[in-house]
Every structure is written in C-alpha cells, then in structure tokens.
C-alpha cells in the first residue's frame, strides 16, 4: 500500500511503520493520521504480521507533535473533528490485538507522546525527550494525552507535564512509568527488534487475551476485570497454540505457535 507520509517494511513477522516527515520532525497532520489509520488497519488484518514497531524518520524526532501550521487555521468545529480523528487512531492502535512497540528515537512531544502512549510498550533512546507542551500554545492535549498519561504515570506527573509544558528526559520518563526501557541511542533499533521478534514468536491468541484483559478489563471494576481474565483464560484452551505450548513444555522443547 503506497503512502505519502509513511514508510512500511516487514522484517519477518514484525512490521515496521515509520512516520516519514523528517523535515517537519514527523509532525502529525490530517494526512498522516489518515495514513496511520490505514497502516494499522492493514497490520491488524494480516495474519503474517505478529507485532508492530512504530517510529519516526530521521535522527531528531519520533513525532514532535501535531502540525501547528495546519492547526493554526482550524475552526472550533474542525478542531473537534481533528481531535476525534486523532483519538480514534490512538484507540485503534491500543486495541489492535497485536503488540505495538513505540521506538522513541528522539522528541516525542504533544501528539507524538500521545501516539507513543497508545502503543503497548515504549523503548526510548537515552537522548529522547517526551512531554505535553500544548499549554505553551494556549491549548490542551487533544489526542488522549490527559487520559493515557494519567493512567500511566498518575495524577501528579500528568499535572506537572501538562500544566508546565516542559519536556523531560528519557530517564525521568522511565522513573514515571511513561517508557518501559531506556537504552543507548546506538542500541535502540537492535533492542527494539529483539523484543518485537520475541513477541512475534509468542502465541497470538494469548497475546490478544492479555491485551484485552489489561486494557479493557483494567478500565472496569475489579469483578468485571476478573471476568475478562477468566473468559480469556478459558478461550485459550480452545486453541491449538495452548496444546502446542503445554506439550512443548512437557517435552522440554521450544514451542512453535501458529496463531490457531
């Protein structure tokens, strides 16, 4: 599928999606959001894709935010629609049913941090910086930043980042739980793909069950969340992968999960 603002590449069972606007620090405009929708829909529908890595082109930015030049001319109604378009993308990524890793190679600010937080895991170069600087533009986050940051890092950190608008370094983001790992920039790609390949070898239905239990069950009360877990646990027993996994364990061999 040809894109104007994205690059896609398959490395075995891992699909790499790269936001390719380095001259704009990979800023998210409406075209990029629309193409990301299409790229993730395609990844969801292809059984050969078992995990996704998302990153930005160039050495400076993952995604440095939304495209301010485009946003500057929006009416309130258009801004509402832009926000909803962005939020729908973040929800699509979060509920993809396959693990998505954000590879933060540089700035992840505003919409860029919101995009990263919609991914299931975030690996950051030690030189990366993250933040929600919308307050400096007279705005608030519009792609889910107030909500996902709250769930990842808690109220105190969310208010600090959103009210002050100052970016923080990767190590501070790790302390707050915004990113999962920080690695030297030169090792970021190799570390990210090693993790993605590990996930791609796991049982796809079990991965989906875990994602549903945590992301959907975790937003409900404890009893409903436990029911999500029980249903996912029981459903796993209907899969060939469960029989393969338990059989391989008993036979002391490496399992070969097929997604069935």
Question: What pLDDT, in 10s, does the model give residues 30-50?
Answer: 999 999 999 999 999 999 999
Q: What's the pLDDT band for 4 if we cut at 50, 70, 90?
A: very high
The predicted model gives 200-211 an average pLDDT of: 94
Q: Which residue has the tokens 């791609």?
A: 200
Structure tokens belonging to residue 241: 């992968």
Catalytic residue at 189? no
pLDDT of 69 higher than 90: no
Q: Which of 134, 189, 197, 229 is catalytic?
A: 134
Lowest mean pLDDT, pick from 118-122, 125-129, 232-236 = 232-236
The confidence score (pLDDT) of residue 80 equals: 94
CATH 1.10.12 boundaries in the chain: 204-251
Report how far residue 168's alpha carbon sits from residue 125's, in angstroms, rounded to the nearest whole number.
13
- In this structure, CATH architecture of domain 6-200: Alpha-Beta Complex (3.90)
Report how far residue 58's alpha carbon sits from residue 50's, in angstroms, rounded to the nearest whole number.
25
Query: In whole angstroms, how large is the CA radius of gyration of the chain?
Result: 19
pLDDT of 109 higher than 80: yes
CATH 3.90.226.10 boundaries in the chain: 6-200
pLDDT of 73 higher than 90: no
DSSP 144: S
The confidence score (pLDDT) of residue 136 equals: 95
pLDDT of 228 higher than 90: no
Cβ atoms of 29 and 73 closer than 8 Å: no
Catalytic residue at 134? yes
Q: Report the mean per-residue pLDDT for the chain.
A: 95
The predicted model gives 128-145 an average pLDDT of: 96
The confidence score (pLDDT) of residue 50 equals: 97
CATH 1.20.58, applies to 204-251:
no
pLDDT of 1 higher than 80: no
Q: Which of 35, 46, 114, 187 is catalytic?
A: 114
Cβ atoms of 184 and 125 closer than 8 Å: yes
Whose CA is closest to 66, among 83, 43, 49? 83
The predicted model gives 160-164 an average pLDDT of: 97
Q: Count of CB atoms within 10 A of residue 246's CB?
A: 12
If phi > 0 it is left, if psi is from -120 to 50 it is alpha, else beta; for residue 137 that is alpha
Q: Using one digit for the tens of pLDDT, what is the confidence trace for 6-23? A: 999 999 999 999 999 999
pLDDT of 220 higher than 90: no
In 3-state terms the chain splits into helix, strand, coil percentages (rounded to 5) of 55, 15, 30
pLDDT of 85 higher than 90: yes
Residues facing 54 on adjacent strands: 17, 102
Whose CA is closest to 116, among 205, 8, 237, 26? 26
What is the per-residue burial (b if ≥16 Cβ within 10 Å, else e) of 142-173? Answer: bbbbbebbeebbeeebbebbbeebebbbbebb
Q: List all residues 6 or more positions away from 225 whose beta carbon is below 8 Å from its beta carbon.
A: 213, 217, 218
The confidence score (pLDDT) of residue 67 equals: 87
């Amino acid at each position: 599928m040809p894109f104007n603002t994205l690059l896609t590449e398959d490395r075995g069972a891992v699909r790499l999606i790269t936001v390719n606007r380095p001259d704009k620090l990979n800023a998210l405009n409406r075209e990029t959001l629309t193409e990301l929708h299409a790229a993730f829909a395609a990844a969801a529908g292809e059984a050969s894709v078992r995990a996704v890595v998302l990153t930005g082109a160039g050495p400076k930015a993952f995604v440095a935010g939304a495209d301010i030049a485009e946003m500057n001319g929006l009416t309130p109604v258009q801004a509402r629609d832009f926000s909803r378009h962005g939020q729908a993308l973040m929800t699509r990524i979060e509920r993809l049913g396959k693990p998505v890793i954000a590879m933060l190679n540089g700035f992840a600010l505003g919409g860029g941090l919101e995009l990263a937080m919609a991914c299931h895991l975030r690996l950051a170069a030690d030189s990366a910086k993250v933040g929600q600087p919308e307050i400096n533009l007279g705005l608030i986050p519009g792609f889910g930043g107030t909500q996902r940051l709250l769930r990842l890092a808690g109220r105190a950190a969310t208010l600090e980042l959103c009210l002050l608008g100052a970016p923080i370094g990767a190590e501070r983001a790790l302390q707050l739980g915004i990113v999962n790992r920080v690695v030297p920039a030169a090792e970021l790609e190799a570390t990210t793909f090693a993790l993605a390949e590990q996930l791609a070898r796991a049982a796809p239905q079990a991965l989906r069950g875990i994602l549903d239990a945590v992301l959907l069950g975790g937003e409900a009360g404890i009893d409903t969340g436990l029911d999500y877990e029980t249903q996912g646990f029981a459903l796993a027993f209907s899969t060939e992968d469960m029989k393969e996994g338990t059989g391989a364990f008993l036979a002391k061999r490496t399992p070969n999960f097929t997604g069935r």
